[in-house]
Chains A and B, each alone.
Chain A
Amino acid sequence: MKSPLSSIIVFHVGPAPISESVVTTWAIMLVLVIGSVAVFRHLSLVPSRTQVFFELIVETVDSQIRDTMRLEPGPYRAFIGTLFIFIFICNWSSLVPSVEPPTAHLETDAALAFLVFLAVIWFGVRAGGLGGYLRTFASPNPIMIPLNFVESLTRTFSLLVRLFGNVMSGVFVIGIVLSLAGLLVPIPLMALDLLTGAVQAYIFAVLAMVFIAGSIGETVPTPVPSSERTPS
């Protein structure tokens, strides 16, 4: 049994090793991009059932952004929506035999958390300027500046650890059970792992929205929703 903590290098491109999670990510990207182009080419004012399904996804993401960030979803839709769909498909990619979810590896989760960290800075600076973004660290008072600064790092780290821990542990448990009990025993755990994967994708996207909204909260008229709870 392979350790989920280790990266398997499939091949090298020059000095750069290409791990299995990167290849899986490329496959997922290929599927998503091909599907998006197919949807894009068949967009119609009178929608088909497929188009209705994808429009439902877009409207759901928009609704979540409006409810969570209290902002118009246009600038944030692509980032939040892509994060959710990518993590969701990555988590569910374990359904494909011999495929390990990229999110079960620390590098992918770290990359996602790092992108959220950058997005918080990017959207915060774009909304209120560099000064406006920095002033958010002095909220509610300047004494909180060190704590807020540390929080901006720790919450990114918490994103990374939460997603990695949940997905990796699911894969790890399934691998252990599979090696011990046989073929059919891990199925309930796999179903639970799918549920956990969907929930974690949602939580990651919601937390990204909350962090971004927190960085631009003082520069927009409507406050960030009060439910800034961080589910474990």
Chain B
Amino acid sequence: MTIDWWTLGFQAVNVLILIWLLGRFFWRPVAAMIAQRHATAQAILAEAEAKRAEAAAALDGIARTRAGFAEEREAILAAAQETAEQVRAARLQEAAEEAAALEATAKASIARDKAATEKIWTERASHLAVDIAQRLASRLDGAAVRTAFLEWLLKEIHDLPDAARQAVAASGATLEAISATLLEPEEQQHYARLVGQAFGTNLPVTFKVDPDLIAGLELHGPHLVIANSWRADLSRILADITHDDQS
């Protein structure tokens, strides 16, 4: 057994060349490709992680925005509700005030209308009563009625203050006696005498007829009027009724 040194040398060189060639065309390129794929995968994973983080951040932002929307919505609703409550309260107050004013105005108007109506009806009733009384009293004209009114006239004269009665007596003025019907001359003299006695002196008395008196005997002088007739009585009654209603 011998060693062929040429072969040994060739084989050593061959293997060295093979190591270099495979290192150049196989080991390093394939390992670099593996490393590149690993780096690419890492980069893709990092990018995916970054995208995921970005998406998570975006989701957080959306959630915060949504929360902000909800808070803003709550605030807007609260403000709107508060404003609505204020407007509602103001409207209610205004309506209440307006209603109160309308009610007061309506009450006043109703009261005025009622008073006017009552006044009108009172006046109508009074006039109606007076008309009825006039129609009824117009049928009572007679001696008894005239005597009664003569007595009432004399009583009125007696009820006058003394100073007034004496002033009329002292004036000597002609008195005018008005009756609803024409008096007979005897009755006129009798009435004149009784009137003179009532004043304490004879005073000239003229007689006049006024059917509007309905019934009665009135005495008019320069400074004296004694309204002693149903017309005067009815007028006073009507004035009293009207005055009572107005008061």
Contacts and interface: CB of A to CB of B under 8 A. Distances in A.
A85 B40 contact: no
Interface string A19-48: 101100110010011011101100111010
B121 interface: no
B7 A19 contact: yes
B75 interface: no
Given A55-B33, A77-B27, A102 B11 contact: yes
Contacts of A77: 23, 27-28, 31
Contacts of B11: 21-22, 25, 102, 107-108, 110-112
Contacts of B28: 77-78
A87 to B, nearest CB: 10
A85 B14 CA distance: 14
A36 B22 contact: yes
B163 interface: no
A13 to B, nearest CB: 9
B198 to A, nearest CB: 154
Contacts of B17: 29
Given A106-B1, A106-B3, A86 B31 contact: no
A94 B246 CA distance: 152
Nearest to B6: A16
B3 A111 contact: no
Interface string A52-89: 00110011011000000000001001110111011000
Contacts of A16: 6, 10
B25 A33 contact: yes
Given A16-B6, A33-B18, A40 B23 contact: no
Nearest to A23: B10
Interface residues of A, number: 48
B55 interface: no
A5 interface: yes
Nearest to A61: B27
A109 B15 CA distance: 11
B26 A39 contact: yes
B16 interface: yes
The binding surface of chain A is classed by DSSP as helix
A114 interface: yes
B22 A25 contact: no
Contacts, number: 129
B19 interface: yes
Interface string B32-58: 011011001000000000000000000
Nearest to A28: B18
Interface string B167-179: 0000000000000
Majority secondary structure, B binding face: helix
A45 B6 contact: no
Contacts of B25: 33, 36-37, 39-40
B27 A58 contact: yes
A115 interface: yes
B29 interface: yes
Interface in A103-129: 105-108, 110-112, 114-115
Contacts of B19: 78-79, 82-83
A117 B192 CA distance: 190
A146 interface: no
Contacts of B33: 43-45, 47, 51, 55
B155 to A, nearest CB: 148
A40 B31 contact: no
A58 B29 CA distance: 10
Contacts of B15: 25, 82-83, 86, 111-112, 115
Nearest to B1: A5
A115 B22 CA distance: 16
Given A7-B7, A82-B22, A107-B3, A55 B14 contact: no
Contact of B8 (A36, A81, A86, A111): A111
Given A16-B6, A45-B40, A107-B7, A40 B26 contact: yes
Given A22-B14, A81-B22, A106-B1, 6 more contacts: A44-B33, A51-B30, A78-B22, A114-B8, A114-B12, A115-B12
17 contacts: A25-B10, A29-B14, A29-B17, A39-B25, A39-B30, A40-B29, A47-B37, A51-B33, A58-B27, A58-B30, A58-B31, A86-B15, A107-B3, A108-B7, A108-B11, A111-B11, A111-B15
Interface of B: 1, 3-12, 14-23, 25-31, 33-34, 36-37, 40
